[in-house]
């Protein structure tokens, strides 16, 4: 009988393996194609959801690759399949389906989104986060490594499946390492039926072509920049910006001194109509972006997917992770106009003067000028040899800070734009891209009285105030951060401690929340919560506060919240080290932004607490805007409130990639384990492999911890196994195996 049992087990495993191989092959054939447009990008009809299937291949790739043929010599080649032109510099990137940005997902609210993500990276894991979707009932789909899932290993595929519950403008991006900075991101647009759209009378068109996705950009890989900055003397200042993956930061020349460049993003409108534009900031460094349109004002109607009462502005500032929707009225003379994107903070005039432009093109003007024909006729003949230094922008601009300021003196901007008749007549540069007038979400400004600046708490949400966000929250956390002069062991060692580094300009300060760096566990918290040891988490109440101000503190930074409790976060930028700015993003929830104020060039936690005790923090508890990403003024605070109604483990972090990767983050544990969604069947697991050394030396398998399985193991192996007294086990697999073996025992006992 046992011989029969053994044969059945072997046959079952072989059949399963064979079936898996065949499934993988048919899987690839079925989903590698892309439909353009995707059938889910449609007019939304109430109560008629669809299942929307996408296939993502994440891989290492290259800008201006062989797929680009003669780009930019032949402009049409820049739009070939698999061509990623970027800003004109060749560099390694991380793409999805060989696009930057990656494929746009456009669906209707309540559609089921299914995305099969295959990792074709050579040596890295990956995950995809669906920024703006709260993942209620599907928390395992949030895409945060070591919080909601294991990294997707190279050559493997992970299926994300979730409901598009949060309408509005969102985006997806890699949440592992610096892959987002290298191009692994794309739009996620969730529309609603017209009858459910409170702004449907404010515009005539909501077009896919009017999505604007921004990122700060480099001419080297982001990992190279990260390592150079954290371990050597490299800077962390962005070189330029990309708009929908396009921009100009390098000029090419031919033997007749004609110049050509990689293409700019273009947005077409027709005079007399109103258009909804969607702006997504996928940025990764400290580079807020000021957005304006020449000769046009904008009416902002939404932020982070949540509708607001319209606000008229001349420009807006967007921080990494934020999204804004605005209505543009095409009410100007038929012409070409610049859309300007001006970098601030680490992109400003002190450093690289990073900026970019796109073109707003009135339809009839383009037809009259026959732009396409003109582009073909005026294409110069290129040299096949390498261009000289005199006619090519340096490939290593970051070694020549501040290079763009120098280039301005050489009138390079004129060379960038003046020879192209398909562009507006004015010559854009960093200085003249500053827009006057009324500005929304200005840099490092709160609700201080200033008629020219509109702060986020000044906005009013269309959604009614949730009565559950009561006057006094159940939890109030003061989360203070800054850059600290401590010996971070990840970047310092014996003989080159912080104060021993020479020259002093190479001293790297560490950004922390409440003097704690987030240490991710070796396994994902949500699906393997049974592996979490007691007292694993830390926060300012469990660590030695005095020591953490002098020494480096790193641990799983977390706060435990009761389900449905009301939480208030007072986020404080102390501002002593640098003039900086940090946007913060909350997973699994949106929040009301109830207060924001810049107090001075710097501020202490005690100053803010005292101000709060005296009732001097004015909170908007009537119609405060709803967001999931918000900035904090340097030397000030931002106050947000939310109800912790979504059980699970949810990350809260700075959305500047370098900061988040070195620990500027924490986790909210919402609810008890039994209130969290059950783990999906066969969900991937990971963690340390640490068996006892004696078991490895003996070469024997490890015995099960369960008596029933040990009895079967005695029959199969005799005493040929070692007891296991280390590490955790997967209860589901042992119990499942016990049930299978017990069933087979009875089967053969009856029929043999």
Q: What is the pLDDT of residues 175-234, one digit of tens each?
A: 999 999 999 999 999 999 999 999 999 999 999 999 999 999 999 999 999 999 999 999
Q: And the tokens for 638?
A: 């931002």
Beta strands (DSSP E) in 142-195 are 157-163, 168-174, 185-191
Q: pLDDT at position 700, please? A: 61
57-69: average pLDDT: 98
- Residue 697's pLDDT band (boundaries 50, 70, 90)? low
CATH topology of domain 35-197: Immunoglobulin-like (2.60.40)
User: Could you tell me which of 597, 551, 544, 548 has the C-alpha nearest to residue 573?
Assistant: 597
Specify the CATH number for 459-675; select among 3.30.70.260, 3.20.20.70, 2.60.40.420, 2.60.40.10: 2.60.40.420
Angstrom CA distances, 87 to 18, 78, 100, 480, 651, stand at 46, 11, 11, 37, 33
Percent of the chain with pLDDT over 70: 80
Helix extents (H) in 251-305: none
User: Could you tell me which of 408, 412, 415, 453 has the C-alpha nearest to residue 431?
Assistant: 408
First-to-last C-alpha distance (Å) of the chain? 7
Q: pLDDT at position 707, please? A: 54
CA distance 511 to 662: 8
Based on the number of CB atoms within 10 Å of its own CB, is 547 exposed (0-12), middle (13-18) or buried (19 or more)? Answer: exposed
User: Could you tell me which of 543, 534, 535, 536 has the C-alpha nearest to residue 512?
Assistant: 543
Radius of gyration of the chain (CA): 28
CA distance 381 to 260: 10
Give residue-wise pLDDT tens across range 704-728: 555 555 555 555 555 555 554 444 4
What number of other Cβ atoms are within 10 A of residue 97's Cβ? 18
Q: Is residue 441 scored above 90 in pLDDT? A: yes
Q: pLDDT at position 711, please? A: 56
Asked whether the beta carbons of 252 and 366 are under 8 A apart, the reply is: no
Report the run of H or E that residue 733 belongs to, with start and end: helix 731-751
User: Could you tell me which of 410, 463, 249, 434 has the C-alpha nearest to residue 341?
Assistant: 434
User: Could you tell me which of 207, 376, 332 has the C-alpha nearest to residue 275?
Assistant: 207
- Residue 318's pLDDT band (boundaries 50, 70, 90)? very high
CA distance 262 to 85: 6
Give residue-wise pLDDT tens across range 463-474: 999 888 988 999
CA distance 490 to 85: 35
Helix extents (H) in 172-266: 222-231
CATH topology of domain 201-375+388-443: Immunoglobulin-like (2.60.40)
The full length of the chain comes to: 752
Average per-residue pLDDT for the chain: 86
Q: What is the pTM of this model?
A: 0.85
536-554: average pLDDT: 90
Look at the block and give the residue holding tokens 């003249």: 432
Residue 84 pairs with which residues in a beta bridge? none
CA distance 738 to 546: 51
User: Could you tell me which of 161, 156, 85, 83 has the C-alpha nearest to residue 118?
Assistant: 156
Strands lying side by side in the sheet with 558-561: 558-561, 665-670, 648-654, 582-586, 629-632
Give the three-class secondary structure for 636. Answer: strand
Q: pLDDT at position 381, please? A: 34
- Residue 253's pLDDT band (boundaries 50, 70, 90)? confident
Angstrom CA distances, 542 to 595, 688, 694, stand at 28, 25, 36
Considering only the C-alpha atoms of the chain, give the largest distance between any 2 of them, rounded to a whole number of Å. Answer: 92
404-423: average pLDDT: 56
Q: 38 — phi, psi (to 5°)?
A: -70, 140
Look at the block and give the residue holding tokens 């087990």: 9
Q: Is residue 410 scored above 60 in pLDDT? A: no
Task: Identify the weakest region by mean pLDDT among 86-95, 225-234, 501-510.
Answer: 501-510
């Amino acid at each position: 009988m046992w011989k029969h049992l053994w044969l059945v087990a072997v046959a079952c495993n072989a059949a399963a393996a064979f079936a898996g191989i065949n499934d993988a092959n048919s899987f690839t054939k079925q989903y590698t194609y892309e439909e353009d447009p995707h059938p889910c990008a449609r007019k939304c009809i109430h109560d008629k959801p669809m299942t929307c299937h996408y296939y993502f291949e994440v891989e290492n790739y290259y800008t201006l690759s062989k797929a680009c043929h003669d780009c930019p010599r032949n402009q049409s080649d820049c739009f070939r399949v698999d061509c990623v032109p970027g800003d004109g510099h060749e560099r390694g990137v991380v793409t999805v389906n060989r696009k930057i940005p990656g494929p746009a997902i456009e669906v209707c609210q309540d559609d089921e989104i299914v995305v099969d993500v295959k990792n074709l990276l050579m040596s890295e894991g990956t995950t995809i986060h669906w920024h703006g979707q709260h993942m209620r009932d599907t928390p395992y789909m949030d895409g945060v490594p070591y919080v909601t899932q294991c990294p997707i290993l190279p050559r493997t595929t992970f299926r994300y499946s979730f409901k598009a519950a949060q309408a509005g403008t969102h985006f997806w991006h890699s949440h592992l390492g610096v892959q987002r900075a290298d191009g692994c991101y794309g739009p996620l647009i969730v529309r609603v039926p017209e009858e459910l759209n409170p702004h449907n009378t404010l515009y005539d068109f909501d077009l896919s072509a009017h999505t604007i996705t921004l990122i700060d950009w480099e001419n080297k890989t982001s990992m190279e920049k990260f390592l150079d900055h954290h371990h050597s003397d490299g800077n962390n200042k962005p070189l330029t910006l990309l708009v929908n993956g396009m921009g100009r930061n390098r000029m090419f020349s031919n033997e007749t001194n004609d110049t050509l460049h990689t293409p700019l993003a273009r947005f077409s409108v027709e005079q007399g109509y109103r258009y909804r534009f969607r702006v997504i900031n996928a940025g990764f460094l400290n580079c807020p972006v000021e957005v304006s349109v020449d000769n046009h004002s904008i009416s902002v109607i939404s932020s982070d997917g949540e509708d607001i009462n319209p606000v008229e502005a001349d420009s807006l500032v967007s921080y990494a992770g934020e999204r804004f929707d605005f209505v543009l009225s095409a009410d100007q003379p038929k012409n070409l106009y610049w859309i300007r994107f001006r970098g601030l903070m680490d992109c400003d005039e002190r450093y690289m003067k990073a900026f970019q432009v796109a073109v707003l093109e009135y339809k009839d003007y383009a037809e009259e000028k026959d732009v396409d024909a003109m582009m073909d006729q005026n294409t110069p003949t290129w040299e096949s040899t390498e261009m000289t230094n005199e006619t090519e922008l340096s490939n290593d601009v970051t070694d020549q800070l501040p290079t763009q300021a120098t280039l301005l003196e050489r009138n390079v901007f004129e060379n960038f734009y003046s020879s192209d008749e398909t562009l507006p007549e004015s010559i854009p540069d960093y200085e003249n891209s500053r827009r006057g007038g009324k500005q929304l979400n200005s840099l490092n400004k709160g609700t201080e009285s200033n008629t020219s600046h509109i702060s986020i708490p000044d906005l009013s949400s269309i959604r009614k105030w949730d009565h559950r966000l009561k006057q006094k929250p159940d939890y109030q956390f003061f989360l203070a951060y800054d850059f600290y002069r401590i010996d971070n062991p990840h970047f310092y060692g014996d003989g080159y401690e912080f104060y021993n580094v020479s020259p002093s300009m190479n001293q790297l300060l560490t950004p922390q929340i409440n003097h704690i760096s987030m240490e991710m566990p070796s396994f994902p918290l949500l699906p393997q919560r049974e592996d979490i040891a007691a007292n694993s988490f830390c926060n300012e109440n469990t660590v030695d506060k005095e020591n953490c101000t002098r020494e480096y503190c790193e641990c799983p930074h977390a706060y435990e919240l009761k389900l449905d409790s009301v939480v208030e976060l007072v986020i404080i930028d102390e501002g002593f080290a640098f003039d900086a700015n940090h946007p913060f993003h909350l997973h699994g929830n949106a929040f009301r932004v109830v207060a924001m104020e810049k107090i001075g060039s710097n501020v202490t936690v005690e100053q803010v607490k005292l101000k709060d005790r005296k009732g001097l923090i004015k909170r908007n508890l009537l119609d405060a805007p709803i967001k999931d990403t918000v900035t904090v003024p340097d030397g000030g605070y931002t106050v947000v409130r939310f109800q912790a109604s979504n059980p699970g483990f949810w990350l809260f972090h700075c959305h500047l990639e370098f900061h988040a990767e070195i620990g500027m983050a924490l986790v909210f544990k919402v609810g008890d384990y039994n209130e969290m969604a059950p783990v999906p069947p066969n969900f991937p697991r990971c963690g340390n492999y640490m068996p006892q050394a004696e078991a490895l030396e003996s070469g024997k398998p490890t015995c099960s911890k369960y008596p029933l399985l040990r009895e079967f193991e005695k029959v199969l192996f005799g005493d040929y196994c070692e007891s296991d007294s280390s590490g955790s086990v997967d209860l589901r697999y042992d119990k499942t195996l016990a049930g299978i073996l017990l069933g087979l025992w009875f089967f053969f006992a009856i029929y043999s």
